[in-house]
Amino acid sequence: MLKSLKLTNVGPAPKLELNLADRLNLLTGDNGLGKSFLLDVVWWVLTRKWPHDLNDNLTSGYPARPADPKSKASIAFDLTTAKATSVSYESTYSNHDQAWVGRPGRPWNPGLVVYAHADGGFSVWDPARNYWKKKGGMDIQESLPGYVFSPKNVWDGLDAEIGGKTTRVCNGLLADWAAWIRERGDTAARMEKVLARLAPTGEAFEVGPLVRLSVNDARDIPSIHMPYADAVPILHAASGVRRVVGLAYMLLWSWNEHVRASELLAQQPTTTVVLLFDELESHLHPRWQRTILRSMLHIAEELHSKAEIQLIAATHSPLILASAEPVFDANRDAWFDIDLERKKVVLRSRQFVSRGEVSNWLTSDAFDLSQARSKEAEDAIEQALAVLRDPNPTRRAVEDADAGLRNACLPDIDPFWVRWGHYVETKLPKKNQSANQAPAPARKKKGPSK
């Protein structure tokens, strides 16, 4: 479990420091301010490998580079291992080696780490399979360093070089899920349970029979029932469904393989799971966005009765933030927000307060919008507000602002009309508009202007 992280001269911010919470850590910030980068660094801190170094089909997850090669760059962190030992570590960048260097020796065991990338790929680090072994006091470094799946690997399987041989280390969702369904065993039932846990309340997936895509394709493809069609092959399913099925599969695969490997090693499975999630809302309908966070916090219960999850999730979704309101507990959860201030990227720990309507999140520190309206409506309202603030506006200025609001198609139900309608009535009495009703004249027609 990661406790704290401090970056100096690496990534978009000159300095970045955060003290993580034990359970939920939400990460917000504009495009390009370093949310995904930060998750890559967290993955590296926990596993000591950069995702791209383990799978060059990835389009992200490259090793972190110092912003200024002439100054010292460091990544320092504190974590608690799966055996509850505290570790403090600092790594500095060696220009000479073009690598991050630090105290040598066997690193730590942070528990099971699953990283859901924004594009549908996953990285998995399994303490039973990826941790260095010890034999007679010696470190044996022959284990695979981790499993990094491109989106295609998740579905079709992953190979790795082991002892100079290409070895299939994961069969992939299509083959494994089909095999589980054929076996009619416990794993197929658990896959359905995990899917049910991830689905919005009352909308559990109904898994269908194995189907073929075409006469020439010999694969048996799992299917799901949709309200309008039976047995939709999972390869034809919508992006949101595939995102969630991929997540359910990767969680189950990681956990099953970890339990099997632990049995072979005659050791107990871990009870610590660190889950890194980039763009939690990706591809999900708002109804789903409202439930995915709670589902993720409870998913551990489907894996192991004692498993505890530390979730670090980046999001662009006001619905995800709103959905955190009933579950957020300041003693074990935290919210970090990255901003651009005077051309500098800064990360702040924000106090999480409930905001009620989801649109209030859009105008909060999380998303920094001035208004939860269209850009055109926002500009028109700003123009109207400037007129309202002016003690002696010209008639022309009032008319222009009024026309601006109409051209922006501000709807009759918008509360701004109450204030503006009353004002316009006093300033432009000839128009005979009522105070609490949107003025009647026709709006600008939508479509290309002539």
Ligand X SMILES: Nc1ncnc2c1ncn2[C@@H]1O[C@H](COP(=O)(O)OP(=O)(O)OP(=O)(O)O)[C@@H](O)[C@H]1O
| Residues at the site binding ligand X, with contacts judged by CB under 6 A | 10-12, 29, 31-37, 62-65
Residue 297 interacts with which of Mg ion, ligand X, none, CB < 5 to 8 Å by class: none
> Is 293 or 338 the residue whose CB approaches ligand X more closely?
338
**111 with 83: CB under 8 angstroms?**
no
In angstroms, what is the minimal distance from the CB of 254 to ligand X? 23
d(CA 309, CA 298): 8
Residue 34 interacts with which of Mg ion, ligand X, none, CB < 5 to 8 Å by class: ligand X
Q: Looking at residues 289 to 328 of the shown chain, list those that interact with Mg ion (rule: CB under 5 A).
A: none
Does 223 sit near Mg ion (CB under 5 A)? no
Q: In this chain, which stretch among 32-40, 48-56, 89-97, 439-447 interacts with Mg ion, using CB under 5 A?
A: 32-40
In angstroms, what is the minimal distance from the CB of 312 to Mg ion? 13
Residue 31 interacts with which of Mg ion, ligand X, none, CB < 5 to 8 Å by class: ligand X
In angstroms, what is the minimal distance from the CB of 366 to ligand X? 13
CA 258 to chain centre: 24
> What is the full DSSP assignment across 159-204?
EEEETTEEEEEE--HHHHHHHHHHHTSHHHHHHHHHHHHHSPTT--
d(CA 436, CA 413): 10
> Is 42 or 181 the residue whose CB approaches ligand X more closely?
42
DSSP state of 276: E
In angstroms, what is the minimal distance from the CB of 145 to ligand X? 18
Residue 12 interacts with which of Mg ion, ligand X, none, CB < 5 to 8 Å by class: ligand X
> Is 75 or 178 the residue whose CB approaches ligand X more closely?
75
d(CA 77, CA 54): 22
d(CA 5, CA 20): 8
CA 437 to each of CA 388, 397, 403, 446: distance values in angstroms, whole numbers, following the listed order: 18, 21, 16, 22
In angstroms, what is the minimal distance from the CB of 404 to ligand X? 31
In angstroms, what is the minimal distance from the CB of 64 to ligand X? 4
Residue 82 interacts with which of Mg ion, ligand X, none, CB < 5 to 8 Å by class: none
Dihedral of alpha carbons 5, 9, 13, 14, sign:
positive
What lies within 8 Å, CB to CB, of 420 at 6+ separation is 384, 388, 402, 405
Beta-strand pair 112-116/165-170: unpaired
Residue nearest Mg ion (C-beta atom): 36
Structure tokens at 261: 């490997």
> Is 7 or 211 the residue whose CB approaches ligand X more closely?
7
> Is 60 or 256 the residue whose CB approaches Mg ion more closely?
60
> Is 65 or 182 the residue whose CB approaches ligand X more closely?
65
What lies within 8 Å, CB to CB, of 391 at 6+ separation is none
Give the CA angle between residues 287, 291, 296 to the nearest 5°. Answer: 145
In angstroms, what is the minimal distance from the CB of 148 to ligand X? 15
Structure tokens at 157: 């399987």
Coil, strand or helix at 274: strand
**254 with 126: CB under 8 angstroms?**
yes
Residue 222 interacts with which of Mg ion, ligand X, none, CB < 5 to 8 Å by class: none
In angstroms, what is the minimal distance from the CB of 316 to Mg ion? 9
Coil, strand or helix at 382: helix
The number of residues making up the chain comes to: 450
In angstroms, what is the minimal distance from the CB of 35 to Mg ion? 5
* CA max distance for the chain: 95
d(CA 73, CA 41): 13
> Is 32 or 441 the residue whose CB approaches ligand X more closely?
32
> Is 12 or 107 the residue whose CB approaches Mg ion more closely?
12
In angstroms, what is the minimal distance from the CB of 253 to ligand X? 26
Residue 62 interacts with which of ligand X, Mg ion, none, CB < 5 to 8 Å by class: ligand X
Q: In this chain, which stretch among 33-41, 129-137, 387-395, 439-447 interacts with Mg ion, using CB under 5 A?
A: 33-41
Residue 32 interacts with which of ligand X, Mg ion, none, CB < 5 to 8 Å by class: ligand X
In angstroms, what is the minimal distance from the CB of 12 to ligand X? 4
> Is 297 or 314 the residue whose CB approaches ligand X more closely?
314
> Is 63 or 145 the residue whose CB approaches ligand X more closely?
63
What lies within 8 Å, CB to CB, of 63 at 6+ separation is 44, 50, 52, 53, 99, 100
Residue 55 interacts with which of ligand X, Mg ion, none, CB < 5 to 8 Å by class: none
Query: First and final CA of the chain: distance in angstroms?
Result: 61
d(CA 130, CA 69): 32
DSSP state of 431: G
Task: Choose which of 36, 150, 295, 433 interacts with Mg ion (CB under 5 A).
Answer: 36
> Is 9 or 130 the residue whose CB approaches ligand X more closely?
9
Q: Which residues bind Mg ion (CB under 5 A)?
A: 35-36
